[in-house]
Amino acid sequence: MPHPVLLTATDIEAMEAVARLHPLNPNALRLRKSLGDATGLTRLGVPRIELPPGRDSSEYHRHLYEEEFVYVPPARDAH
């Protein structure tokens, strides 16, 4: 089955998130959706990670052989 070239916001919201707890930081709970896997990417990872309130994203770290970027959208009003 071919992968879609484009995911809509509705497609992404409908995806089931995988909860991951970071092994070095027990407060780092991340809800991950792999947009790269959903679109068939094999050389670029594009996860959408949501952090529950009060949780950390990771621990301080660096990459020697990989690049990483982070996009933080404006906060949403929960009311």
Q: How far is CA 29 from CA 25, 54, 58, 59, in A?
A: 9, 10, 8, 11
Q: In what order do the strands lie in the sheet with 18-21?
A: 18-21, 29-34, 47-50
Q: Is 34 helix (H, G, I), strand (E, B) or coil?
A: strand
Residue 71 inside a domain? The answer is: no
Residue 73 inside a domain? The answer is: no
pLDDT at 12: 92
Residue 29 inside a domain? The answer is: yes
pLDDT at 78: 64
16 lies in which domain range? 9-50
Residue 13 inside a domain? The answer is: yes
Residue type, 3: H
User: pLDDT of the chain along its 79 residues, tens only?
Assistant: 677 778 999 999 999 999 999 888 889 999 999 999 999 988 888 889 898 889 988 777 788 887 777 777 787 766 6
The total domain count for the chain is 1
Judge contact between 58 and 78, C-beta under 8 A: no
